[in-house]
Structure 1
Amino acid sequence: MKRSVSAEWLKLRHSRIGLVLAVLPIISLLIGCANYYFNQGTLQNGWYSLWTQVSLFYGEFFLPILIAICCAYVCRLENINRNWNMVITSPVSVASVFIAKLFVVSILILFSQTLFMGLYWIAGILFSLPGAFPVEILGWILRGWYASLSIIAFQLCLSLRIRSFATPIGISLCAVFIGLGMYIGKLGLFFPFSLLTIGMSVLSQDKLVVLQNILFWSMNMAFVIIFASIFIHQLKNKDIVSS
């Protein structure tokens, strides 16, 4: 496992993925801050009002796209020159390959989440928002990271089967709108992209009741297990054709 993780990190050396991890949170925060600035007359709830604006663009759109980019990138080397065939014949288990990719992308997303929270805090200071920094934000950031694990697992499955770098990202964007519809339809706890919306309290800052909390944590783990099983089954039992 350690070798697999080290190999994944080695692939990221000299890459520009760090730039993407920084730019997308910055862009989403700037858009949200601009929206907050021009609507301060109606947004009167301080830190929470700012959160509704910046998290809407980041958590609902930019973060899922960022996850898709990271997953496509960590599978990019295997998707060229028939390298999936080398992975299959290597002395490393398929499960280790999946877990290593999941771990590496999750760390990248955790960095993005931490950066976004820091930028949000700086924006709140610049806007001279009253009161202390809300401690709930840390919980929402961590829940959003946890919810991202199921999306990461889903996107890894896509990137395994689809050689194109852009296609899985486009599918992710479509899934965002499906997830938004399911959230509005009160079915958000049963779709990975809706779970991200719930986890980061993007559209509602109401606390989850006990049953909702149980479903949130258990459904995310269930999706990770399901997509991990699909990934491992595909890699073990199907020919991977790469060019």
Structure 2
Amino acid sequence: MFFDVIITDWIKIRRSVVWWIMLAVPIFISIIGVNNYMEHLDVFQKENLLGWMGAWTQVEFLYGMVLLPIVISVYVSLLCRYEHLGGGWKQMLSYPITRTSVYLSKMVWSMILVGLTNVVMLVVFLALGSIWGVQGEIPWSTFLTMMINGWIATFTLIAIQLWVSTQWDNFSVPIILNFIFVFPNIFISNTKMGMFFPWSQPVYAMTPADRLEYVQPLPYFYLAVCLGFLIFIIGGLWHFHRSEIR
């Protein structure tokens, strides 16, 4: 039953704009970030940040702090948009499937899309960095760790966005909500609260540890993400089960 819902959602998004977003955002961010690094090598030399990690700091700041949270809201909104149009929720739930299956399918696909976006982000960054001539050995283990942690760090935010997107049929509401909470990231991400604020967690996870003003033990970070995710996924499911389907 759950697998059938997963397949149904795949059919809906396989020709969606999400795949263009998944490619366009990493290309845009990588061009800006790597170009900025190459044009200011003297500054990065003074900061002892030459090489791949120096270039990455110019990418992850804008990606993790601003664009990734916004991309998440777009992905989740698009996944729910099909059901908001023309009584789609009623039609889907008229079949012998549970609301939990429908809700969790949206969650799983949101996680998959965000994970794939992180993979594309790393591939595009490394490709453009090599073309531009970034020097040094690629720190594969560090990059892979940051990208995995960055993916896990989006789970709470995905749960929040899914809760909002299933309740509001206006496509723009979740995106506007994200814009409102993205701006405080500039001030929160480098504080002790950065690990606990859902919109700051992705950039916190993808920033090199030596560039963070406050570094908490990794188990605390995972605990914060897991607790936030559980609170919002349970709350969202509870609300979805009790909402009137339109």
Same fold (TM over 0.5): yes
Partner in structure 2 of residue 54 of structure 1: 59
Structure 2 match to 1:17: 18
- Separation in 1, partners of 2:229, 2:8: 22
Find the partner of 1:222 among 219, 227, 233.
227
Question: Is the 2:89–2:245 Cα contact (8 Å) retained in structure 1?
Answer: yes
- 1:235/1:12 Cα in 2 relative to 1: closer, same or farther (>3 Å)? same
Give the letter for the 1:29 counterpart: S
Query: Any conservation in 1 of the 2:26–2:125 contact (CA below 8 Å)?
Result: no
Partner in structure 1 of residue 40 of structure 2: 39
Could you tell me whether the CA contact under 8 Å between 1:25 and 1:62 is conserved in 2?
A: no
SS at match of 2:62: helix
SS at match of 2:207: coil
Please tell me whether the aligned partners of residues 88 and 236 of structure 1 are also in contact (alpha carbons under 8 angstroms). Answer: no
- SS for the counterpart of 1:184 is coil
Amino acid at match of 2:81: R
Q: 1:78 aligns with which of 78, 83, 86?
A: 83
**Is 1:27 equivalent to 2:32 in the alignment?**
no
Letter in 1 for 2:101: S
What fraction of aligned residue pairs are identical, expressed as a percent?
26
Q: What SS does the aligned partner of 1:81 have?
A: helix
- The 3 A distance-change label for structure 1 pair 7 and 202 is farther
Quote the Cα distance in structure 1 between the aligned partners of 2:199 and 2:208.
12
Which residue of structure 2 aligns with residue 150 of structure 1?
A: 156
Indicate whether 1:141 and 2:147 are aligned: yes
Q: CA deviation at 1:69?
A: 0.6
Task: Give the one of 132, 152, 168 matched to 1:127.
Answer: 132
Question: Relative to structure 2, which stretch is displaced further, 82-91 or 11-20?
Answer: 82-91
Could you tell me how far 1:155 is from its partner in structure 2? 0.8
8 Å contact kept, 1:147–1:199: yes
* 1: CA distance, partners of 2:90 / 2:188: 38
- TM-score, with length taken from structure 2: 0.89
Cα distance in 2 for partners of 1:213, 1:207 equals: 15
Contact 2:185 2:200 in 1 (8 A): yes
Deviations 1:130-159 (A, max 9, x none): 321012011101111111121111111111
Q: CA deviation at 1:190?
A: 1.5
1:197-236 equivalences in 2 (<5 Å): 197-201=203-207, 205=211, 212-236=217-241
| SS of residue paired to 2:170 | coil
Amino acid at match of 1:132: E
Moved more, 81-90 or 144-153: 81-90
Give the aligned partner of residue 181 of structure 1. 187
The secondary structure found in structure 2 opposite 1:19 is helix
| Aligned counterpart, 1:107 | 112
Change (3 A) 1:21 1:157: same
Does structure 2 conserve the Cα–Cα contact (< 8 Å) formed by 1:157 and 1:227? yes
Contact 1:78 1:84 in 2 (8 A): yes
Greater CA deviation, 81-90 or 125-134?
81-90
Alpha-carbon separation, structure 2, partners of 1:47 and 1:207 = 20
Q: What is the CA-CA distance between 1:127 and the residue it aligns to? A: 3.3
Contact 2:195–2:221 at 8 Å: present in 1 too? yes
- In structure 1, stretches of 5+ residues that fail to align are none
| Aligned residue pair count | 240
Separation in 1, partners of 2:170, 2:210: 35
Please tell me the residue identity of whatever aligns with 1:191. F
Unmatched 5+ stretches in structure 2: none
1:182 deviation in Å?
Answer: 2.5
CA distance in 1, matches of 2:208, 2:180: 18
Structure 1 residue 87, shift from structure 2 partner: 4.1
Given the two structures, how large is their TM-score scaled by the length of structure 1? 0.90
Residues 92-128 of structure 1: per-residue CA shift (max 9 Å, x gap)? 2222222211111111111111111111112332233
